[in-house]
Structure 1
Amino acid sequence: MPYSVHWPEALANALRAAQRGLHVFPLTSKKLPAVRSPHADQPDAEPCRGECGRPGHGVHDATTVPADIRALFHAAPRATGYGIACGRRPMHLIGVDLDRKNGLDGVAALRDLAHKHGFDLPGTVTIATPSGGLHLWLSGPAGVVVPNSASRLGPGIDIRGTGGYLVGPGSWTPAGVYRVLAHSTPVPQPVPAALLQLLLPPPAQERPRPAPSAGCGTSSQASDALVRFVRDSPEGQLNNRLYWAACRAFESGEEADSVAAELLAAACAAGHPERGAARTIASARSRVAGRAGR
């Protein structure tokens, strides 16, 4: 397969970002991981974050090692850009993705949020996106896991936290190139404490648990884990995670409809359109039912 004309610049930009301590991996022109998953033809495979030792696990491939970056890009000749993994040392990057399209104005929504909660946004690394939006890079404290979210803080405000990624500056897409704005700081600035509190999930509410029957004492814990698995999906993996989690829920049989409703809510909160999420869950139900009928 011939190399994209944007491939050399994408690799060079990724290597420069890695020199600054940013963990990177190649992206396609659609802003998706460019290395094909080694499990793409194994729909029933357990979730893998690279434990198999092969490339093709999206953000989990991200690295700062130049030789590994080159190997990833050589496995992705059509790459036109690169992704930057959030939540990794040493910066513990938090990305604030502010959309300005389809009637949304994430910049105004974030300004209103800051005013409402009494914090000032620091000048920080700021990336202009081809669609007219902005990416703000902030640095989080070590040991704090910031989840990904879509419009949870306000319309047009998406958060890229641990397990998520940002499109790196210099990356090419058909809509244009991501570029660093002139007023950007050299490094991401610390996230304001008040904003950090808004980014973190609220304390889990203890829900009534049925009395466990023999051998089934962890069923509620398992369903909670499935919900977290969907809620914390990295960008580009939400639908696959939802399908896998729904299959596991219907296989268990216990409170499957209740768990499916929670999975639907978690997927919508993470940015999945409700109708599409419902179709994915229905597909999982049909698959499990088909297996049971064999």
Structure 2
Amino acid sequence: MAHALTAAERGLAVIPLSRTKLPALRSPHHAEPHHRDPRRHAAPHHSPPCRGECGRMGHGVHDASTDPQRIRELFAAAPWASGYGIACGLPPYHLIGIDLDTKSGVDAPAELRELALRHLFTIPETVVVATPSGGRHIWLAGPPDTVVPNSAGRLAPGIDIRGAGGYLVGPGSRTEHGVYSVVPGTAHLPPATCPPALLRLLTPSPRRHRPAHAGAPADPQQGQGLVQFVLAAHAGQRNTRLFWAACRAYENGFGEALTAPLTDAAVRVGLTAREAASTIASAARLTGYA
């Protein structure tokens, strides 16, 4: 609770968590016949779930508060809590959490560096929290008028995003696997502003309607030109050229048809098939086709 109160002093809304990293307080509606289990899909005739309108505790991230008295009440109601969650997407920081996972066997920090190189952004100095498993939580501040959704692995393998409606396990929390702690040298920093190029990746445009000719290039010469553009890449520009070509292909309606030729071209100039697939998938996400 002391760590949670310290976070609240910085303007971060918090809730108590159990050792499993889940909200410590059970829903007050769990015994009601119409209660919606968040792990299941509700029937169409069920009313929307309560998000704290009833005034009782136990609504997960919707209980999050910066009020010291309210926080003490929440922890008093859950004396077994061993940690706290920090709600994302709320003022003043509109916190965005970049969760670099290590349990999946993927080098998530390397994936983030590759994204940064490909999309020309850098992660600014900001708060970084070390997880018991060896992962990292990078804290960034988002704009007040942009809703960043939660996602798992959409941005890149091993990278999860905590946005509106999500929460980050706060430093000082003790879980089944160990303690979360602030990386030395970052505790005094405020959450840094999310780079615009990264923010665009986190808030993809609505999925577009694919044109009728999406299955094959409308202009074979244009598709071949993009492949040649990748084949002409030198070391240091292979990913950038492949990403640009894939974006143009998706924007023109034949991204799927050109995936195999672009992959073959990328492999011929030195990328691995996995690197090529990741780059093309990133282009599909950015242009709204994934």
TM-score (norm 2): 0.66
Aligned to 2:197: 194
Aligned to 1:73: 75
Shift of 1:102: 3.1
Percent of pairs with identical residues: 62
The reply to whether residue 38 of structure 1 matches residue 28 of structure 2 is yes
Question: Out of 82, 85, 88, which is 2:84 matched to?
Answer: 82
Shift of 1:206: 5.5
Aligned to 1:3: none
AA of the residue aligned to 2:31:
D
Give distance in 1, aligned partners of 2:24 and 2:173.
13
CA root-mean-square deviation = 1.7
Alignment deviations for residues 134-174 of structure 1 (CA, whole Å, 9 cap, x no partner):
00000001111100000001011000001000000000012
The reply to whether residue 141 of structure 1 matches residue 131 of structure 2 is no
Bigger radius of gyration among the two:
2
Question: Out of 12, 15, 25, which is 2:5 matched to?
Answer: 15
AA of the residue aligned to 2:140:
L
Question: Out of 97, 100, 113, which is 1:98 matched to?
Answer: 100
Q: Is the 8 A contact 1:95 1:166 kept in 2?
A: yes
The reply to whether residue 163 of structure 1 matches residue 165 of structure 2 is yes
Q: Is the 8 A contact 1:147 1:201 kept in 2?
A: no
The reply to whether residue 151 of structure 1 matches residue 141 of structure 2 is no
Q: Is the 8 A contact 1:126 1:181 kept in 2?
A: yes
Give distance in 2, aligned partners of 1:105 and 1:133.
10
Alignment deviations for residues 37-66 of structure 1 (CA, whole Å, 9 cap, x no partner):
001112523311101111100000000001
Does the C-alpha gap of structure 1 residues 43 and 97 become closer, same or farther in structure 2, counting only changes over 3 Å?
A: farther
* 1:268-283 alignment, distance < 5 Å: none
Q: Is the 8 A contact 1:24 1:64 kept in 2?
A: yes
Give distance in 2, aligned partners of 1:159 and 1:181.
19
Aligned to 2:246: none
Aligned to 1:50: 52
AA of the residue aligned to 2:169:
V
AA of the residue aligned to 1:107:
P
Does the C-alpha gap of structure 1 residues 110 and 56 become closer, same or farther in structure 2, counting only changes over 3 Å?
A: same
Shift of 1:202: 2.1
Give distance in 2, aligned partners of 1:44 and 1:154.
38
Q: Is the 8 A contact 2:104 2:158 kept in 1?
A: no
Give distance in 2, aligned partners of 1:174 and 1:198.
33
* 1:91-130 alignment, distance < 5 Å: 91-130=93-132
Give distance in 2, aligned partners of 1:156 and 1:41.
36
Ranges in structure 1 where 5+ consecutive residues have no aligned partner = 1-10, 208-294
Q: Secondary structure at the match of 2:156?
A: coil
AA of the residue aligned to 2:126:
T
Q: Is the 8 A contact 1:96 1:136 kept in 2?
A: yes
Q: Is the 8 A contact 2:87 2:166 kept in 1?
A: yes
Give distance in 1, aligned partners of 2:158 and 2:139.
16
Alignment deviations for residues 185-213 of structure 1 (CA, whole Å, 9 cap, x no partner):
52110000000000003224369xxxxxx
Give distance in 2, aligned partners of 1:83 and 1:201.
26
Aligned to 2:268: none
AA of the residue aligned to 1:193:
P
Does the C-alpha gap of structure 1 residues 42 and 105 become closer, same or farther in structure 2, counting only changes over 3 Å?
A: farther
Give distance in 2, aligned partners of 1:139 and 1:154.
20
Give distance in 1, aligned partners of 2:160 and 2:86.
16
Aligned to 1:280: none
Ranges in structure 2 where 5+ consecutive residues have no aligned partner = 36-46, 211-290
